[in-house]
Amino acid sequence: MTRAGALSDPEGTELCDSPLPDTPVKDPSRLSLALQSDFIYQFKRSPVAVVSFAVTLVLVLSAICAPLIAPYNPFDPASLNLMNGFSAPMTPNAFTCDTFWLCTDDQGRDVFSTILYGMRISLFVGAAAVAFAMVLGITLGLLAGYVGGWTETIIMRIADVQLTFPAILVAMLIFGVAKGITPVEYRDQMAIWVLILAIGLSDWVQFARVVRGATLVEKNKEYVAAAKLIGRTGPAIMVRHILPNVLSPVLVIATISLALAIIAEATLSFLGVGAPPTQPSLGTLIRIGQGFLFSGEWWILLFPAVTLLALALSVNLLGDWLRDALNPRLR
């Protein structure tokens, strides 16, 4: 007889126990865990999210790689030919016989190239304005929610007063004041930064209100009391403990605000108080095309307007899906 657990040869001879070698279990990488998360699963199951993300990615990459993709540089006066003006899409010009993918404007600029370069300005202004509004709103929201008292009262009353005015009017007011105090010789150079400041200051309220409400809930939890007990200061508690727990709704608002900021920039540029003519954004291109809408050159307006619509709609739909995906009540 052989002992339990011992190995024996075919002739019945008992062999010594030989434990199986331990095979090391490889820990899954963070990338594989992320791809297997519920968030990615919900993303793959949503056609709207996939299509909007694909459209946004294509437009953003096209704007970033504009110098490599654009066949012409619309900002180089030496490359412009006024004889190419008002060329129809994919139709040889009557004077130069040059053919353009989309069309040309009144100055002979290739509209496809101007759209790519214009998207760079629109995306930069929108992203920078949202980043500025997010930093300002988070800072004031944390102070209002954690400190309380007169600090909270002053911040939130300022926010309530600003909410009584449309955001575009607030942006126009701030843009006009900031441009008025800027020296004349620097106005064109500072126009983009003034535009970012105006849109950012008109959009910080929603970030502050959301962060304040979340901070009022988080500051009464046990981990904050434990941080106070070990001697953490107020700023350290707000930045290292409360802030990471209030970022989820902030990121959702930032995504939706990006679409609104792009539209606000286009609106201001369309009204002539945004980007300068030397740096045309999508709104500036639409304003230029609007002047030729009823003279037969409808394509000068159509293509920038469709690009702006696709960009704003895709970012907005992506933000709506992100809001639903991160909402625990809808799971």
For the chain, the domains span 51-74+96-330
d(CA 35, CA 38): 9
Nearest to 266 by CA among 308, 300, 307, 301: 308
Is 0.75 surpassed by the pTM of this model? yes
Q: Which residues of 203-230 are buried (b: 16+ CB within 10 A; e: fewer)?
A: bbbbbbbbbbebbeebbeeeebeebeee
What is the per-residue pLDDT for 125? 92
Look up the CATH superfamily of 51-74+96-330: MetI-like (1.10.3720.10)
What is the per-residue pLDDT for 22? 55
Which stretches of the chain drop beneath a pLDDT of 50? 1-10, 13-16
- Tell me the CA distances in angstroms from 56 to 68, 122, 255, one per residue in order: 19, 13, 12
What is the per-residue pLDDT for 35? 67
What is the per-residue pLDDT for 99? 81
Nearest to 218 by CA among 189, 247, 197: 247
Residues 175-232 pLDDT 10s: 888 888 888 877 778 888 888 999 999 899 999 999 999 999 988 888 888 988 888 8
The total of other beta-carbon atoms located within 10 Å of residue 124's CB is: 15
What is the per-residue pLDDT for 101? 80
What is the per-residue pLDDT for 211? 93
